Amino acid sequence: MSSNSFRVMKFGGSSVGSPRRLRQVIELIGKHARTGPLAVVVSAQGDTTDWLLEAAELATKGDLEGSLTVVARIAHLAKTNAAALHPAQATTLAARVDQLLAPLQQLLQGISLTRECSPASKDKVLAFGELVSATLLAELLNAAGTESCFRDARLLLVTDDTFGTARVDVARTRTQLQASAAGWGTSVPVIPGFIASTVDGRTTTLGRNGSDYTAALVAQGLGATEVTVWTDVLGLHTADPDLVSDAYPVPHLTHAEGLELAAVGVRMLHPRTMIPLIESGISLRIRNTMHPDHPGTLIDAIGSRDGNRPTCIATREDLALLGIEVRKLSDQFQLGERVLSALRAARVTVWMTAQSANGQSIALVVPLPDVQRARTALEAELAQELSRREVEPLGVRQPVTLLTLVAEAMGHGVNVAGRFFSALGAVGVNVRASAQGASSRSISCVVDAADTSIAVRTTHAAFNLAHQQVNLFLLGKGTVGGQLLAQLRAQQDLLRERHGIALRVVGIADSRHTLFDASGLALEGLEEQLARVVRGEPGTQALPPLLDELRRLPVPILVDCTADGGVASLYTEAFRRGIHVVAANKKPLALPWNEREALIAEARRHHVGYHYETTVASSLPVIDTLANLVRTGDTVRLITASLSGSVGFICNELLAGVPLSTAVRSARDKGFTEPDPREDLSGADVARKALILARELGLSLSLSDVALEPFVPTLADANESPDSFLRSLRSLDAEYAQKVERCRQSGTVLRYLARIDPTRLGTDSPVIRVGIAAVEPGQPGADLRGTESFVSFTTTRHSEFPLTVRGAGAGGAVTASGVLADILRISQTLRGR
Q: What is the residue-wise DSSP string for 432-478?
A: EEEEE-TTSSEEEEEEEGGGHHHHHHHHHHHHH-SSEEEEEEEE--S
One-letter amino acid of 316: R
For residue 716, is pLDDT > 80?
no
Q: Which among 172, 168, 182, 147 is positioned nearest to 40, based on CA atoms?
A: 147
More confident residue, 211 or 303: 211
pLDDT at residue 2 greater than cutoff 60? no
- Dist CA 15 CA 271 (whole Å): 23
pLDDT at 646 over 60: yes
Query: H-helix or E-strand containing 352?
Result: strand 352-355
- Categorise residue 115: left if φ over 0, alpha if ψ from -120 to 50, beta otherwise: left
Q: Which residues pair with 363 in a beta bridge?
A: 323, 354
Catalytic residue from among 124, 670, 689, 739: 689
Confidence of residue 4 (pLDDT cuts 50, 70, 90): low
For 764-786, write each residue's pLDDT tens digit: 899 999 999 999 998 888 889 88
Domains present along the chain, CATH in parentheses: 7-232 (3.40.1160.10), 312-464 (3.30.2130.10), 468-618+818-831 (3.40.50.720), 622-810 (3.30.360.10)
CA pseudo-torsion sign 230, 236, 240, 245: negative
The DSSP-derived string for 260-271 is: HHHHTT-TT--H
Cα within 13 Å of Cα(8), Cβ side:
30
Question: Regarding beta strands 158-159 and 556-560, do their DSSP bridges make them parallel or antiparallel, or are they unpaired?
Answer: unpaired
pLDDT of residue 453: 85
- Which of 165-179, 336-350, 442-456 is most confident? 165-179
3-state secondary structure of 763: coil
pLDDT at residue 679 greater than cutoff 80 = yes
Asked if pLDDT for residue 330 goes beyond 60, the answer is no
pLDDT, average across residues 95-108: 95
* DSSP H or E stretch at residue 397: strand 395-406
Q: pLDDT tier at 367 (50, 70, 90 boundaries)? A: very high
| CB-count burial class (<10 Å; 0-12, 13-18, 19+) for 537 | exposed
Q: Write out the H or E segment, with its range, that includes residue 318.
A: strand 312-325
Q: Which residues make beta-bridge pairs with 508?
A: 474, 515
Length of the chain: 833
| pLDDT at position 537 | 47
pLDDT band at 817 (very low <50, low <70, confident <90, very high): very high
Q: 402-411: buried (b, 16+ CB within 10 Å) or exposed (e) per residue?
A: bbbbbbbbbe
Q: Could you tell me the CA-to-CA distances from 306 to 48, 108, 303, 682, 712 in Å, in that order?
A: 41, 54, 9, 63, 67
Local confidence band at 298 (pLDDT 50, 70, 90 cut-offs): very high
Residues 670-684: what's their mean pLDDT? 86
Phi and psi of 259, rounded to 5°? -65, -40
Instruction: Please give the average per-residue pLDDT across 170-195, as a whole number.
Output: 94
Interior angle at CA 196, CA 193 and CA 202, nearest 5? 145
For 437-492, the pLDDT digits (tens) are: 666 678 899 999 988 888 888 888 777 665 778 899 999 888 899 999 999 999 88
HSE-up of residue 305 (Cα within 13 Å, Cβ side): 1
CA–CA separation, 297 vs 286, rounded Å?
A: 5
Q: What is the mean pLDDT of residues 214-236?
A: 92
Residue 140: pLDDT above 80?
yes
> Which of 127-131, 305-309, 419-423, 604-608 ranks highest by mean pLDDT?
127-131
Amino acid at position 45, single letter: Q
Whole-number mean pLDDT of the chain? 88
Q: Report whether 233 contacts 191 (CB < 8 A).
A: no
What secondary structure does DSSP assign to 794-813, as a single string?
A: EESSSSSS-EEEEEE---HH
Which of 104-113, 204-213, 328-337, 716-725 is least confident?
A: 328-337
- Residue 832 pLDDT: 47
Query: 117, 111 in Cβ contact below 8 A?
Result: yes
Residue 650 confidence (pLDDT): 94
Rounded mean pLDDT, 130-144: 95
Alpha-carbon distance of 578 to 823, in angstroms, equals 15
Residue 833: DSSP 8-state? -
In this structure, of 127-131, 309-313, 521-525, 713-717, the range with the lowest mean pLDDT score is 713-717
pLDDT band (50, 70, 90) for residue 358: low
Interval 562-583 mean pLDDT: 91
| pTM reported for the whole predicted model | 0.68
* pLDDT band of 331, cuts 50, 70, 90: very low
Write out the E strands in 356-394: 361-367
Distance between first and last Cα of the chain: 47
587 is a catalytic site residue: no
Q: How far is CA 371 from CA 165, 320, 367, in A?
A: 21, 7, 7
Share of the chain above pLDDT 90, in %: 57
377-428 pLDDT tens trace: 998 988 888 888 888 888 899 999 999 988 766 555 556 778 888 888 877 7
Q: How confident is the model at residue 833 (pLDDT cuts 50, 70, 90)?
A: very low
